[in-house]
Structure 1
Amino acid sequence: MESQKDRVKLNVGGKKFETTATTLESAGRNSFFGAMFDENWNLHSDGSITEHFIDRNPNYFGVLLDLLRTGELYIPPKIDKKHLYREALYYGIEDHLRLAKWGPFDGNRLRLAESITGPTVRKAHKIRASPNSWCCVVRDNMVNVYNWMLEEQPTITTRDYRRVNDVCWVDSDNIAVSSSDKYLASGGIGLFSASTGELKYNFEVKDEDQLKDYTADALGVSSDYKLFSSCTECTNKKNGIGVWDQVTGKQTDFLPYWPDSKATKFQWLHGTNCLMVASCHLRSKCSINLFDFRENTVALSWSDATYQRMYRDAIAIEERNSICIVDSNENLGFMDLRSTTSSIEWRSSTRDNTFNRYPKLAFQEGQLFSLFCDTISVYCGSNWVPTSQLQQSCGGCIRDFSIGGDRLFALHGSEDIFDVWETPRP
């Protein structure tokens, strides 16, 4: 039984509610209700029950209060879901709402929650998920951003309507965008607000303190606020890797990149403070390099000049000390991060040598994901045994997919549709 001192009275939009301080405190210190227990706003310092007024809609507040009381979400038929989500955002309890709506990410239990149709046809070519379950879709010169309620935010548009080459979530609030004109003669990198689409600043490319005209392509970020981009000089096609401070926008380094082809993927390895740089092009030599920023050296370097395989993607799995690589027939290869020989152990797929232009890899919560045609396969265990498949009959071949927060987003190639996969609550 709660004590008199623990009881709290609230007047929300003219409707009175009575609850306990314990229930409101469960919202968390960073929530609206957490602020009510700050020393500057003590709800019950004298032991009496004081009524506090909140100028919001009481119908939505009642649903959210029940969520805090029980941990379960029940939405009455007359309640608009998206308006309820916005109210949860106002009170700072959107995490509670997400947890009540779906469980922790598990590739073997994912279920299709929704399919979103874009504004165009056959133009979307990249999708990226954010750490807080938002996503963005690249369509030619535009980046369409969707919040965790799957509402479209203001569109990000590149300067001079240049084609977008890559996008990267710097954090939950900002997106880096690389672009170039249709002749790949010039390009740039901009940092944009995810919620407003506003350009915050452009990243300039300098080599030996000289401002250079580069096209920017693949992007990546580190845990210590660095932004990386694959850069190709417009005049002599020299490849390099630009490094910027995400906070200030200032370039901090430029690394010459010796492989013949430009880098196609960056991945920061948090445990070793290294950057994996992969070049996986359809009909050119594949290379993987590991740059150690503590020693300013190359910790691992591998390349395949035999052209016997068409390598398409690579991903480092730090907890297994390995790098996984996939070819156009969905054969998976594994390389030991600690090995100096850098040999690859291949595991053949069951695809009967079916060719696919868009194989892709991802790793989340100890599970490996591999995209092939219209199917995303999930691999688990020490031997990477296939345990489940994600497949949607509508939309055709999957061109790209991305995992962020507690969601998987899959972008279809033949139609401008992306699927949202979530893990149901146990």
Structure 2
Amino acid sequence: MKSQKDRVKLNVGGKKFETTATTLACAGRNSFFGSMFDEDWNPRSDGEITEWFIDRDPDYFTVLLNLLRTGELYIPSKIDKKLLYKEALYYGIQDHVRSAKWGPFDGNRLRLAESLTGITAGEAAMIRASQNSWCCVVRGNMVKTYDWMLEEQPSITTRDYSRVNDICWVNSDNIAVSSSDKYLASGGIGLFSASTGELRYNFQVKDGDQLKDYTAGALGVSSDYKLFSSCSESTNKRNGIGVWDQVTGKQTDFLPYWPYKATKFQWLHGTNCLMVATCHSMSKCSINLFDFRENRVFLSWSNAMDERVYRDAIVIEESNSICVVDSKETLGFMDLRSINSIEWRSTHTRGFTEKLSGWTGYKFSYPKLAFHKGQLFSSFDDTISVYCGSDWVRTSQLQQSHGGPIWDFSIGGDRLFALHGSEDIFDVWETPRP
């Protein structure tokens, strides 16, 4: 192709570079270099060699140009990594930097990349990862957001010191926060900018045309731009589920008199249904699948006759199953087509007391579940186990030498984030390149 032979001259901060349109095309049409060429990546210069001036640091450009040439990322010792990431963001090639530095997500090959300390005062509550590898952390009434470079963004703080009940990434730019903050209008749900912390609008809870005095709890999102929240009315001790349009913030549905207060939502992409799970600190547990198209519950299960204490539940659509975990990290599996029985599998290999012997300031953490790229993850004390295959065999474990018990963890993009409850720290796990 003609564009592969065309040479391109660049002047970056006074330093001359010469490359080809083919090399710059590796950056992608939406990158900084896309505007320098036509649709066929021919220079907009009638075929002549033309010099473009770019007012940026040439040393950092040298590293990024070599990345486009070879696909390899070599960072000299004199180069500040975070400044290099910012330069990559300017040129629109941050994804190239990430793919050169880290490989595709694989739970069996995860390595501890970084531990961040000094997050904020207050008790650890929860951590949530976004699909673009950002994360947000809740401690007390504050939400702290970190971008893909792990740089802290402006915090989200509820007024009146109201505790944050749940957080949820609506998309890569926005975070929904539920709390008992009376300034977030009825229900206490606000949509905030992830990068600025700015409140964009409130989600109000209505039953019919009337505002209701509900407190929002667990949050969830769907692939068709719905936001779900559990709602509790303290005066009458009634529960419901609110549904809003993520784009407009308007409520589209409300399911009053839901039998239990939901603690987790999961949208099932294959059937366009919502899993509503209730796993309380006591033994009561229920799992319901709700079809909004027919406005009915088409599958319901509860542990009315079971004395186990359930902590979390997750639907694994790939295997048509539901996985639950009890307080001892025993995993149970139910077939979605026949949920009358549970197959239990003990997973822990060493005693709980043994792990706690050297820890101080301990706060009890409950097992949590996650599913990502065909792999099942379960946290227990200071360890996250990875399960694979049709029989869900444990294939690896993630464990940090310090930090104490894992209070919460979340997977998003190509990272796993683990929040420790007894110390002011969270870990970032990534997959090295093969």
- Which TM-score band (shorter chain)? over 0.9
Distance in 2, matches of 1:371 and 1:308, equals: 22
Q: Residue 192 of structure 1 aligns with which residue?
A: 192
Q: State the identity as a percent.
A: 82
User: What's 1:264 paired with?
Assistant: 263
Secondary structure at the aligned position of 1:95 is classed as helix
1:425 & 1:41 partners in 2: Cα distance?
A: 30
CA–CA separation in structure 2 for the residues paired with 1:257 and 1:6: 68
Give the 3-state SS of the residue equivalent to 1:343 in structure 2: strand
Aligned to 1:344: 342
- Change beyond 3 A, Cα 1:7–1:357: same
Report the equivalent of 1:286: 285
Choose from 353, 361, 367 the match for 2:375.
Answer: 367
For 1:383, the aligned partner's letter is: D
Determine the C-alpha separation between the residues in 1 that align with 2:161 and 2:187. Answer: 11
Cα distance in 1 for residues equivalent to 2:348 and 2:147: 37
Is 1:397 aligned with 2:397? no
Deviations 1:163-182 (A, max 9, x none): 10110001111100001159
Instruction: Provide the C-alpha distance between the structure 2 equivalents of 1:170 and 1:372, rounded to a whole number of angstroms.
Output: 28
Q: Residue in 1 aligned with 2:160?
A: 160
What is the aligned partner in structure 1 of residue 420 from structure 2? 412
**1:3 CA displacement:** 7.5
Aligned: 1:376 with 2:384: yes
The answer on whether the counterparts of 1:122 and 1:415 sit within 8 Å (CA) in structure 2 is no
* Long gaps (5+) in structure 1: none
Distance in structure 2 (CA, Å) of the matches to 1:193 and 1:40: 37
Partner residue in 2 for 1:43:
43
Please state how far the C-alpha of 1:349 moved relative to its aligned partner. 2.8
The Cα of 1:418 is off from its aligned counterpart by 0.2
CA–CA separation in structure 2 for the residues paired with 1:21 and 1:164? 50
Relative distance call for 1:93 and 1:352 in structure 2 (3 A) is closer
**1:310-338 Cα distance to aligned partner (Å, 9 max, x none):** 00001111111111110001111111122
What amino acid is aligned across from residue 345 of structure 2 in structure 1? Answer: R
Alpha-carbon displacement from aligned partner over 1:171-194 (angstroms, at most 9, x marks no partner): 111100001159xx9850000000
Runs of 4+ in 1 over 6 A off after TM superposition: 1-4
- What residue in structure 2 maps to residue 311 of structure 1? 310
For residues 102-133 of structure 1, the C-alpha deviation after alignment (integer angstroms, 9 at most, x for no partner) is: 10000000000110002435522100001011
Equivalent residues, number: 422
Aligned residue in 2 for 1:68: 68
Post-superposition offset of 1:40: 12
Partner-residue secondary structure (3-state), 2:247: coil
- Work out the CA distance in 2 between the residues paired with 1:353 and 1:298: 40
Aligned Cα root-mean-square deviation (Å): 2.1
Alignment of 1:6-405 (within 5 A): 6-38=6-38, 43-121=43-121, 123-180=123-180, 187-259=187-259, 261-339=260-338, 341-351=339-349, 354=352, 357-405=365-413
Q: Deviations over 1:29-75 (max 9, x none)?
A: 12111232245996244111111111111111111111111111111
SS in 1 for 2:63: helix
| Residues 352-395 of structure 1: per-residue CA shift (max 9 Å, x gap) | 78496410000111100000000000000110000000000101
* SS of 1:346 mapped into structure 2: strand
> Could you tell me whether the CA contact under 8 Å between 1:35 and 1:41 is conserved in 2?
no
Residue pair 2:233, 2:239 contacting (<8 A) in 1 also: yes
- For structure 1, which segment, 3-12 or 85-94, has the greater mean C-alpha deviation from structure 2 after superposition? 3-12
Unaligned residue ranges in structure 2 (runs of 5+): 354-363
| Equivalent residues of 1:218, 1:265 under 8 A apart | yes
Q: Residue 329 of structure 1 contacts residue 351 of structure 1 at CA under 8 Å; is this kept in 2?
A: no
Distance in 1 between the 2:41 and 2:54 partners? 14
Partners of 2:413 and 2:195 in 1: how far apart? 17
Deviation at 1:290, TM superposition (A): 0.3
- Inter-partner Cα distance in structure 1 for 2:105 and 2:251: 36
**TM-score, normalized by length of structure 1?**
0.95
1:89 Cα deviation (Å)? 0.8
Amino acid aligned to 2:430: E
State the Cα distance separating 1:158 from its structure 2 match: 1.7
The secondary structure found in structure 2 opposite 1:395 is: coil
Distance 1:306 1:273 in 2: 30
CA contact (8 A) 1:218 1:229 kept: yes
Counterpart code for 1:333: G
**Match in the other structure for 2:357:** none
**How many angstroms apart in 2 are the aligned matches of 1:93 and 1:10?**
17
Separation in structure 2 between the aligned mates of residue 257 and residue 422 of structure 1, nearest angstrom:
43
- Residue 122 of structure 1 contacts residue 414 of structure 1 at CA under 8 Å; is this kept in 2? no
Distance 1:3 1:140 in 2: 56
Q: 1:38 to 1:199 in 2, by over 3 A?
A: farther
Read off the aligned partner of 1:412 and give its amino acid letter: H
1-structure distance, mates of 2:330, 2:352: 11
Q: 1:4 to 1:314 in 2, by over 3 A?
A: closer
Q: Residue 213 of structure 1: CA displacement?
A: 1.1
